[in-house]
Amino acid sequence: MTGFSAGAPHSAVDVIRAKRDGGRLSDAQIDWVIDAYTRGVVAEEQMSALAMAIFCNGMDTAEIARWTLAMLNSGVRLSWPAGRPIVDKHSTGGVGDKITLPLAPLVAACGVRVPQLSGRGLGHTGGTLDKLESIPGWRARLSTVDIERQLADVGAVVCAPTEGLAPADRKLYALRDVTATVDTIPLIASSIMSKKIAEGADALVLDVKVGSGAFMRTVESGRELARTLVGIGAEHGLRVSALLTDMSTPLGRAVGNAVEVTESVEVLAGGGPPDVVELTLTLAREMLALGGVTDVDPADVLASGRAYDTWRRMITAQGGDPDAPLPVARHTHTVTADRAGIVSTVDALAVGVAAWRLGAGRARKEDAVQAAAGVHCHVKPGDPVTAGAPLLTLHTDTPEAFDPAIAALSDGVEITDTAPKPTALIIERIHG
């Protein structure tokens, strides 16, 4: 029988049945099933059934904490030489969310080491590594020794997770993606925190997105996820705080890969969209506070150009050329306003799906992405427009993608006669 071996204290069927019937899993059951799944003893279809049972019936706080610990213990834990504080940041994912790119070098320039082990995009949400790989020569894969050296020399590194980091999560995440079990708080929280705790940081700041372009569509669900994440961190002795931030509208004006790098460099050079600057500075202050650095204002550091210098050193250290031209799409199409009025909505989900269909994202992890594909948003909610004014410019190397992208945007931008009620970018702060 798959999922059972002679002398084993548990079987996969018993664990699945317990959760299917609404029971709670014991520490021993969780430890066993995560270890057995990582080793291939529990089959993919059995873990699929267990993930769906968790999706339907949930987990209590103790179960989530133990599930996180079991995934953490499936691999190695990184540790870093003593010195400047080490603070990490994680975003739950959104549309136009390029904040890691200006944030990591900014915080490093303020005196805190930032080991940002990041991922790739899937579906309508972008991936930090995909964005950075649009820079000629830049490489995502680094050894632990490389990461340690770059943290010492530059202060910041953004790269792919090392192979030994939470391998159980890597297997389970891929499975959840193809079994419609991604968006459940116990599995989201344990996935995030098993990797982040394994990274060996002193503290962690979480950017929990809420709104149409986020996994958490409501403030209430975002708050529940944030509290769960902060609680797991406290269980493991990690200083954690979380910000709930709005993802009903794309962040900034650029959505894609190379276009988001360009916008990030604009922020580091002292410009960029106000919302990207606001969130970058807010998260920087939060990271510095958790790292115990209270005598530096990141706004001053950003204005001085020191963060931009750190960005250039960070890109160069990973083989990239910060002066090289970025890829430009071969084809563009501009969506225009069909009437005069005031923009009331620029829907993050619609824009994210359009960028994905243009080639900026992937449907499966093994799919390639187009570095130059994406969407440039000419307008934000509250902007007045005239009939025929540009709303969005679509970028792609495959012009046949325009029609499905335009279809995704059919209700994505709304124009009315009255201005929408202003919304706050930073909704709430949650801490232990």
> Given 88, 97, 130, 169, which residue is catalytic?
169
> Given 19, 66, 84, 90, which residue is catalytic?
90
- What is the radius of gyration, based on Cα positions, of the chain? 22
Written as one letter, the residue type at 165 is L
Contacts of 323 by beta carbon, 8 Å cutoff, 6+ apart: none
How many alpha carbons fall within 13 Å on the CB side of residue 221?
16
Decide if 236 is catalytic: no
Residue 416, SS3?
strand
Tokens matching residue 362: 């992937």
> Given 176, 227, 239, 253, which residue is catalytic?
176
The alpha carbon of residue 394 and the mean position of all alpha carbons in its chain are separated, in whole angstroms, by 23
Tokens matching residue 349: 């989900």
> Which DSSP state fits 345?
E
Decide if 169 is catalytic: yes
Span between the terminal Cα atoms of the chain, in Å: 44
Decide if 331 is catalytic: no
> Given 48, 91, 118, 191, which residue is catalytic?
191
> Given 84, 170, 195, 313, which residue is catalytic?
195
In the block, tokens 């929408």 appear at 420
Decide if 90 is catalytic: yes
Q: In terms of Cα–Cα distance, which of 282, 289, 298 is closest to 202? A: 289
Full DSSP string of 27-43: HHHHHHHHHHHHHT-S-
- Please identify every residue annotated as catalytic: 90, 169, 176, 191, 195
